[in-house]
Structure 1
């Protein structure tokens, strides 16, 4: 077998590239991160961290390191020019194991992501390496970088070989240009100036989106006493005006007494972008994060969308590198991630439109908001963040619940197909393609544990109230062993001890999980399934009746391009599962 310098070359040491390298590392694979800068970016950029990203950081073993630089339950209020609250976004659900929204200080979090790479002997972070060449050689890639010394002077070039390369180097991505894909979307001409100050002079802990017709603004309370303001620049105001202290004082004096006394730690201007690459893969080269899509800042989803990319791509690369899946699995990355990124851009663009309305439009908006707040159902649409499109993978590594066909999954079944005669559940929406919940649970070895700590970071086949091995053939059990699929039985806590004894002699180990909060029972109670297969990223790959376990595993094998090669041997290039 040919030996390469590393398994994956990651281009760019931003949060997406660093997270991807950490996720590869915890699954036993090597990564080399090449960064053009001489150090990590040290000024704040992203300020919002959501529960999905925290779940990923937990998988990477980094959440406890990152947690001190966050504040949970970051409330967002949309206010008009008089300060009247039009809508409040304050989701209190913790269905994925953590509060829905956090504020955070990005440079400090990025530093922990970089430090996390030190855990893996085969992983390296190389600063002062600007990538200037990419070559796909069929069975591997060669990435060429210009090196610079500590003084910034050229110090020759280096070429790194790897099985795959991932471009995570931002909106001006060299990788994307090398791939030759379109970068579709809009870049509105609206410019904003952002100001971060230490020793927060206001002290309120959350976020205000100021939909002020005179000048839209944002005011954000962040961890460690940081306050951020963002102000929209009018078309007739040159960017250079932001260098004028008097102009900056005029922006701030409506929000804080004595702006000249502020301790400014960062001031920059930027333009909102809403763009997405037409494809995220070309051969052995991929895009992730801002290299793949640029997200307007309104809903704080730029950082989080990139982490979703890393989460999705990392387990698929890991599966192929380990010989668990054929290379065709990697085609599902674009299929799954591009649409959600595009949908998120659209929602952010719409939010920006609401923010920037003039006097007449603003008056109409304010009146509409007042009416919406009178209807609890409409009000909760904003309060609980329901307008944010949750990732749902309708194609890719999914199995349709009604037909059990691999590769595509309908959102509902309405008693259609083979499932119709057998179900009396009240649920007609399929959970396939959605992220599974993460309550706290109990096992024989752990009390009050997060579910991900019990199921792990690879495949899980779980049933409610039964022994999953009861429905598996010898061939199914061989597949379970080959692909390290953890078998789990969710039980009411009152039955856990009985099940642990009853299932002790099963033909394969079964982890019995006590549903101490009732959340798992509630989940199954409104869904027409008693069995689920969870992917390594905690999304539901398949859901069915328990008796359909063999059919589900057969379909999953196709959807995920799972190989039958012996453990430790890579799948043959182009081989079928």
Structure 2
């Protein structure tokens, strides 16, 4: 039986960041993830200046040259006229980095996995899934199953953090309540590798085109990769739209078939949800396990990384007996009020875009420019 200070269950960007921060504090960490290798297609695509500063803390700031510096974000009417725009500053923010970047998630995860592999205080349980969790006043016991061999083992940890995504096993074990903030839509996600960048599409800015019944989001990821997200209605047949012929038709406005490689076609359902109760004894939640939001603000992963930054030093202080365990209760009280405005605003924009596409609301007049907003932390260490 292996014993750790903290077991991190789920090692996407949030879990990897949390494990790295804990190890840097001198804790013994189990990093557990069902995937032996990094998923080869991107899921998240956006990070901000606060995220870059966190990468600097992790020792991975040199990846910035592999990130696309984003310059603008615009919402368009069906005829192409803009009605909402956000111009992103080219100068560095107070965090010492640009405010918005697009990135390729597999590279991001690969770098963080490598940093963990080189750390003697971390054991990588990649290819293992957690099948059972029990806790008492002194420890958490996790039963792990090797996905390739069927072998089973048990780990013990002082604490366990579920950063295991929207369908979190740890959250289910905690029986945590989930608040629905009403922003559920389906999107067909198409990632492509064009052989040449299409001249009619911007190379460093994204947009949403509120067209007909199927609004489309365009995002350059990192050259040459591009993403298109088509918002689907209830009656849309996702399986049919995921077929290559449908993809060629959907993208024909911008690209000729044969001018690109299709990397991914998946239908994803977005939700706007916030968990109540991020801690239950020695179990905690982070990232999508604690909150989910539509992609309109690009703050889903960024919010999860803020969770990791807030939680890591508090867990380290408690494990080292430098602070009482009550310190961990300030984690949710600070983070939940900060992430809620992002969820609510992304849900509002998502619902607006859907309504515009279906004609449920009239098109707005003129063009409005919006500024980036930064919610405040909730009461915690400082009230």
TM over 0.5: yes
The answer to whether structure 1 residue 154 and structure 2 residue 150 are counterparts is yes
Map 1:72-151 to 2 at 5 A.
72-92=69-89, 94-148=93-147
Counterparts of residues 534-553 of structure 1 (less than 5 Å): none
2:239 counterpart residue number: 240
Note the residue ranges of structure 2 that are not aligned, 5 or more in a row: none
SS at match of 1:126: strand
Residues 81, 214 of structure 1: 8 Å contact kept: no
Residue matched to 1:355? 353
Cα distance, 1:362–1:251 mapped onto 2, change above 3 Å: farther
CA distance in 2, matches of 1:70, 1:13: 21
Output one character per residue of 1:271-296: Cα deviation in whole Å (capped at 9) or x when no partner. 11111111100001100011111121
Q: Find the counterpart in structure 1 of residue 218 from structure 2.
A: 219
Is residue 2:178 matched to residue 1:178?
A: no
| Cα 1:167–1:360 shift into 2, 3 Å | closer
**Counterpart of 2:198 in 1: which secondary structure?**
coil
TM-score normalized by the length of structure 1: 0.62
Change in CA separation of 1:345 and 1:115 when aligned onto 2, cut-off 3 Å: same
Secondary structure at 1:132 match in 2: strand
Offset, 1:88: 2.2
Q: What is the alpha-carbon distance in structure 2 between the residues aligned to residue 353 and residue 73 of structure 1?
A: 24
Matches within 5 A, 1:410-559: none
Q: 2:198 aligns with which of 192, 195, 202?
A: 202
Q: CA deviation at 1:259?
A: 2.7
Partner of 1:332: 330
Query: Quick one: structure 1 residues 364 and 210, their matched pair in 2 at CA, closer, same or farther if it must change by over 3 Å?
Result: closer
1:70-112 CA deviation, whole Å, 9 max, x = no partner?
1123421111111112222123261211111111111111111
Counterpart selection for 2:38 from 12, 22, 40: 40
Indicate yes or no: 2:64 matched with 1:67.
yes
**2:245 pairs with 1:249:** no
Does residue 52 of structure 1 match 2:50? yes
Q: Which residue of 1 aligns with 2:309?
A: 311
Q: CA deviation at 1:363?
A: 4.1
Per the alignment, in what secondary structure is the counterpart of residue 58 of structure 1? helix
Give 1:216 deviation, angstroms.
Answer: 0.5
* SS of the residue 2:328 aligns to: helix
Q: TM-score normalised to the size of structure 2?
A: 0.93
2:11 paired residue number: 13
- More deviation in 45-54 or 88-97? 88-97
- Post-superposition shift, 1:254? 1.6
Which is greater in Rg?
Answer: 1
What is the rounded CA distance, in whole Å, between the counterparts of 2:234 and 2:106 in structure 1? Answer: 31
Which residue of structure 2 lines up, in the alignment, with residue 192 of structure 1? Answer: 187
Structure 2 vs 1, CA of residues 359 and 12 (structure 1 numbering), >3 Å: closer, same or farther?
closer
Residue equivalent to 2:159:
164
Residues of 2 paired with 1:158 and 1:192: CA distance?
38
User: Alpha carbons of 1:364 and 1:198: their partners in 2 closer, same or farther (altered >3 Å)?
Assistant: closer
Residue 147 of structure 1: how far off its partner (Å)? 1.8
Aligned length: 376
Give the conservation status (yes or no) of the 8 Å contact 2:297–2:342. Answer: no
* SS of corresponding position for 1:154: coil
1:261 to 254, 259, 262: 259
The superposition leaves residues 373-426 of structure 1 with CA deviations (integer Å, 9 ceiling, x where unpaired) of: 4xxxxx3xx1x313xxx242241011xxxxxxxxx1xxxxxxxxxxxxxxxxxx
**Is the CA contact (8 Å cut-off) linking 1:69 and 1:109 kept in structure 2?**
no
Paired with 2:51 and 2:184, the residues of 1 have a C-alpha distance of 30
SS in 2 for 1:248: helix
Q: CA RMSD in A?
A: 1.9
**SS at the partner of 1:311?**
helix
Cα distance in 2 between the residues matched to 1:153 and 1:347: 45
1:555 aligns with none
**CA separation in 1, counterparts of 2:32 and 2:341?**
30
Task: Supply the distance in 1 between the matched residues of 2:112 and 2:176 (Cα, whole angstroms).
Answer: 29
2 CA distance for matches of 1:351 and 1:361? 14
Aligned-partner Cα distance in 2 for 1:171–1:214: 27
Partner SS, residue 215 of structure 1? coil
Decide whether the 8 Å contact of 2:70 with 2:101 is kept in 1: yes
CA, structure 1 residues 359+315, in 2 after alignment: closer, same or farther (shift >3 Å)? same
CA contact (8 A) 1:94 1:100 kept: yes
Contact 1:253 1:259 in 2 (8 A): yes
1:395 paired to 2:382:
no
